[in-house]
Amino acid sequence: MTDGHNTVTETDLHAFVDGFLDDGRRQEVELWLKDHPEEADEILQWQAQAAELRTAFSNYARPSENDGMLLNAASPARTSSILWRKSALIAASLMLFLSGAAAGVYGERLISKPVPIENTAALESLPGQSKTAFLVYASEKRHPVEVGADQEEHLVTWLGKRLDYKLVAPDLKGLGFSLVGGRLLPVNGKAGAMLMYQDTAGQRLTVLLGKNPENGETSFRFESAGALETFYWIDGAIGYAVTGEVSRAKLQEIAEECYRQFET
């Protein structure tokens, strides 16, 4: 990451995100980022991840005046630091989910291998499709679903046949959400399903399911878009995504309950 007269290194970018640069160098990096939109986008992602980690571990973290010494300009240490950061962020993201689920009888299944490259596209497309479905149908007043909750047995049988999957509609009443119904949707070019839930205040959330028969791994991730949160995962041949305008903690709780009931 060098650029002519004004050189900005990986170490500079990590120090920028962590707030370890002095004012002069910080301004230089900000100017450099204006001319490098790809790196600027990556920095935004790092900052969001850093904020999530600070929130998750705020009860344990203790700043030290020696923290800045961790940033060493030596090349081997720089490479090690970068690799450590990337590995730590991935591990910490998984821990945000595992911390809530490890005590459950299904917790052991959540520890998974990395997603194979050929399945990455299917996994990465899930949150976008789930958010689109939520935005289109959650605000619909008269026809948010094709089949209502009053025909739940028919709904899960119909959608389950289309997915070739023993579908259940998770019972989320204990978390304040009741089934509204569901509909058939295309997911990754195949038949998919959307279930919709609503609380007593009219707040809605959706659960999207799609087939990914080539997959044999399990992976869990979060994605945010403004106030909209999506928790998504692929488990075997089915991908799942829970989307709603609720807190991340609440959505994680809902996703854990969906995961538990889908696996029974």
pLDDT by residue (tens digit) across 54-108? Answer: 555 444 455 555 555 544 544 444 444 445 454 554 454 445 444 444 434 344 4
Residue 1 lies in a domain: no
* Of the residues 101, 128, 161, the one at which a domain ends: 101
Same-domain pairing of 118 and 179: yes
Q: Give the pLDDT confidence score for residue 220 in this predicted structure.
A: 76
Evaluate if pTM is beyond 0.85.
no
Q: Give the pLDDT confidence score for residue 73 in this predicted structure.
A: 46
Same-domain pairing of 120 and 233: yes
Same-domain pairing of 124 and 254: yes
Residue 224 lies in a domain: yes
Query: DSSP 3-state assignment of 180?
Result: strand
Same-domain pairing of 83 and 43: yes
pLDDT band for position 112 (cuts 50, 70, 90): very low
CA quadruple 153, 206, 111, 260: dihedral sign: negative
> Chain-wide mean pLDDT for the chain?
76
Same-domain pairing of 75 and 128: no
Distance, in Å, from the CA atom of 89 to the CA atom of 52, rounded to the nearest integer, reads 10
Residue 17 lies in a domain: yes
Average pLDDT over residues 199-216: 85
Digit-coded pLDDT (tens) for 117-127: 444 444 567 88
Residue 111 lies in a domain: yes
Domain that holds residue 68: 10-101
Q: By the 8 A CB rule, do 219 and 123 touch?
A: yes
Same-domain pairing of 58 and 129: no
Neighbours of 164 (CB within 10 A): 13
Flag whether pLDDT at 49 surpasses 90: no
Same-domain pairing of 152 and 249: yes
Among candidate residues 186, 134, 182, the one with its CA nearest the CA of residue 158: 182
Residue 39 lies in a domain: yes
Question: What is the 3-state secondary structure of 88-149?
Answer: HHHHHHHHHHHHHHCCCCCHHHHCCCCCCHHHHHHHHHHHHHHHHHHHHHCCCCCCCCCEEH
Same-domain pairing of 112 and 82: no
Number of folded domains in the chain?
Answer: 2
Same-domain pairing of 121 and 213: yes
Average pLDDT over residues 237-251: 92
Same-domain pairing of 24 and 80: yes
Residue 177 lies in a domain: yes
Flag whether pLDDT at 210 surpasses 50: yes
Neighbouring C-alpha atoms within 13 Å toward the C-beta of 71: 16
Q: Give the pLDDT confidence score for residue 32 in this predicted structure.
A: 87
* Of the residues 48, 75, 101, the one at which a domain ends: 101
Same-domain pairing of 124 and 252: yes
Q: By the 8 A CB rule, do 241 and 129 touch?
A: yes
Q: By the 8 A CB rule, do 149 and 248 touch?
A: no
Q: Give the pLDDT confidence score for residue 258 in this predicted structure.
A: 94
Tokens 């609503």 sit on residue = 198
